[in-house]
Amino acid sequence: MKLTFTEENYLKAIYKLLEQSGKPASTNDIAGILQTSAASVTDMVKKLAEKGLVDYEKYKGTRLNEEGKNHATLLIRKHRLWEVFLMHSLKFRWDEVHDIAEQLEHVQSEKLIDELDRFLGFPKYDPHGDPIPDKNGRYTFRHQIPLSQLEKNKKGLVVGVKEHSRSFLNHLDNLNLKISSRIEILDINEYDDLIEIRIDDNQREKISRKVADNLFVQNT
Partner DNA sequence: ATATATTTTTAGATTTATCTAAAATTTAGA
Partner DNA sequence: TCTAAATTTTAGATAAATCTAAAAATATAT
Return residues touching a copy of itself (CB under 8 A).
86, 89-92, 96, 99-100, 103-104, 107-109, 111-112, 115-116, 119
Amino acid found at 120: L
What x-and-dash track marks residues 19-48 binding DNA by CB under 7 A?
A: -------xxxx-----xxxxxxxxxxxxx-
CB of 13 to DNA, least distance (A): 11
- Residue 4 binds which of Mn ion, DNA, a copy of itself, none (CB < 5-8 A, kind-dependent): DNA
Tally DSSP H helices, then E strands, for the chain. Answer: 8, 8
User: Is 87 buried (19+), middle (13-18) or exposed (0-12) by CB count in 10 A?
Assistant: buried
Angle between helices 5-21 and 38-50 (to 10 degrees): 100
Residues 99-138 that bind Mn ion (CB under 5 A): 126, 128, 130
- Residue 61 binds which of a copy of itself, Mn ion, DNA, none (CB < 5-8 A, kind-dependent): DNA
- CA 75-31-40 angle, to 5 degrees, is 100
CB nearer DNA, residue 63 or residue 80: 63
What x-and-dash track marks residues 96-125 binding DNA by CB under 7 A?
A: ------------------------------
How many alpha carbons lie under 13 Å from residue 147 in its C-beta half-sphere? Answer: 37
Residues lying near DNA in the complex (CB under 7 A): 4, 6-7, 26-29, 35-47, 56, 58-59, 61
